[in-house]
Structure 1
Amino acid sequence: MISTDDLNNREFSFERTDFDSVRTRLYQLTGIRLADSKDSMVYSRLARRVRALRLQSFAEYLSHLQTHPDEEQHFINALTTNLTSFFREPHHFDILKKYLLAHPQTKTIWCTASSTGEEPYSIAMVVAETYGRFDVPIKIIASDIDSQVLQKAQAGIYAIEKINSLAEQRKKQFFYKGKGSATGLVKVVPELQKMVEFRQINLLNAQWPLRGPIDIIFCRNVMIYFDKETQLTLLERMVKLLPAKGLYIAGHSETFNHASHLVKPAGHTTYYPNHSVR
């Protein structure tokens, strides 16, 4: 919650009503519900926009947001969380490889929250390793609501520390090491980049620019930001895209015991579509 000390030390006026207005607008645009404890995060991230626009307070910024639709994307980009890493939750990538070996007819994989690209590139690495080549018959679609992180993902350039945990073979096969002015950076090899198609998608949009069937959906650590009603709505839409033997991969803190009419457990935080109830 906002403390008196915080208020006294802040560059811009930020009232409780401002925080509530931010939460309401973010929910309207993205379906994400911010907890009461996120007030400091909201201030620190949006203060940059207030400063950049040369406004004097959050009240002014919120008025600007209402009258300038082009500001909505900056607003969303500032507040959406983009925590990710290569091969985060590694057991999912073991499951992916086993699935690909058991289902050689797999055609499409959708990563619904690609962030800066580490997750979809990890998927692509597993696909390339499984097939033994880059030219594979599988389309990998990677989407995110944040336009800025998508630009970073498409560039495929990372601090070298990002790949420290990867096996040496993966480092050599999938990354170029920067030299000269690029020392300390690595770049995803073009062959891997070509395997991933990046798209900006707001999961709350009535229509998604993709069609089923989609064999595997990675939707990890996304649902936790939505209320139960929105979770069920999105899960139902995604399940409809999955074939009978499709696979839905969730995050480590996401469970769908309340959605047994839509999915059935396939392993640790992985699910099969429950088409039998239709």
Structure 2
Amino acid sequence: MATDTRSRDTRPPATEAAVSEDREFSFSTDDYAYLRAMLKEKTGIELGPTKQNMVYARLAKRLRKLGFKTFRDYIEFIGTPAGVDELGTTLNALTTNLTKFFRENHHFEHLGTAALQEVRARAVSQGRRLRIWSAGCSSGEEPHSIAITLLQSMPDIKQWDAKVLATDIDTEMVRRGSEGVYPAASQEGIPADIARKYFEPHGADKVRVTQDARSLITFKHLNLIGNWPMKGPFDAIFCRNVVIYFDKDTQRVLFERYANLLVPGGFLYIGHSENLFGITERFKLLGRNIHRKIA
């Protein structure tokens, strides 16, 4: 999937003109092409040709902080052994993180009713084990919403071996998610009784998800196109608004791997702008981007 480019220098040529002469930092079209190719190789995420201004905005602060004058200098730095840590920061900056609590709430409604009913039915013969994966968890709102849904829907959850795995390629997002601290305004749209029960004040204008919800979740750094150390099986996987950044071939591989990790009849929740048409035949659409594993 990812190719090895260590044997050749793919940095942009020094002759390419800058896109905009009035910018603080010179940023050529070849500079952008290099960063696009690097992101695709390292993460599988494919930026479109219209995202150059976004990349400039996200990385300009790093150039400013480190004292570089051009993107070419910055690119050369992250390609050296001394720039390995900065390369991770670059990848973090270029991955998109936009989420909220109970986003696309119908998924959590389905999880708390139909999905958990089937989990309970399986428990009769297979034991009280529950596993859910939030793949591409960003800053943690999604897995915390999952945990709150479990607490609300399963009064006997302490009698279960219940765990939520939350993973993301962005190490800073993983750190923030594990802390469970958010602006107080992030509770907007959450029913008042849920907000009172599962969020507590945490300093000025901030709240923290309560310990009973946080204790259900394990946050881990994971590159979806790399090795997956977990074995599953999972009862449900949330992978929402993630695969839109991958090409079709990468999507096919990802959904094959998801299917392999789900229990028979397990559920897959994807984003409202995503679909599995022409990608995989291992899932059946139940409606509103809720899919069941059929093979």
| TM-score, reference length from structure 1 | 0.92
1:160 paired residue among 184, 194, 200: 184
Unaligned runs of 5+ in 1: none
Corresponding position of 1:16: 29
The structure in which a higher percent of residues are helix is 1
Question: How far apart, in 2, do the equivalents of 1:239 and 1:63 lie?
Answer: 40
Corresponding position of 1:197: 218
Question: How far apart, in 2, do the equivalents of 1:43 and 1:134 lie?
Answer: 47
Q: How far off is 1:173 after superposition? A: 0.9
2:119–2:235 contact (8 Å) kept in structure 1? no
2:273 paired residue among 248, 253, 260: 253
2:265–2:294 contact (8 Å) kept in structure 1? no
| TM-score, reference length from structure 2 | 0.87
Residue type of the alignment partner of 2:183: A
2:45 paired residue among 15, 32, 51: 32
Corresponding position of 2:13: none
Corresponding position of 1:131: 154
**SS of aligned partner of 1:76:** helix
Question: How far apart, in 2, do the equivalents of 1:192 and 1:263 lie?
Answer: 30
The count of corresponding residues between Structure 1 and Structure 2 is 268
1:145–1:200 contact (8 Å) kept in structure 2? yes
Deviations 1:157-191 (A, max 9, x none): 1111100211111111101123xxx2211111111
Question: How far apart, in 2, do the equivalents of 1:51 and 1:210 lie?
Answer: 39
1:43-58 to 2 correspondences below 5 Å? 43-58=56-71
2:19–2:28 contact (8 Å) kept in structure 1? no
1:112–1:217 contact (8 Å) kept in structure 2? yes
Q: Percent identity?
A: 36
Corresponding position of 1:101: 117
Unaligned runs of 5+ in 2: 1-16, 124-128
Change over 3 Å in CA distance of 1:107–1:134 after alignment to 2: closer
1:23–1:34 contact (8 Å) kept in structure 2? yes
User: What is the alpha-carbon root mean square deviation over aligned residues?
Assistant: 1.6
Question: How far apart, in 2, do the equivalents of 1:56 and 1:5 lie?
Answer: 13
Corresponding position of 2:207: 186
Residue type of the alignment partner of 2:152: E
Deviations 1:100-147 (A, max 9, x none): 123213510000011111000000000001112663431100000000
Question: How far apart, in 1, do the equivalents of 2:86 and 2:75 lie?
Answer: 10
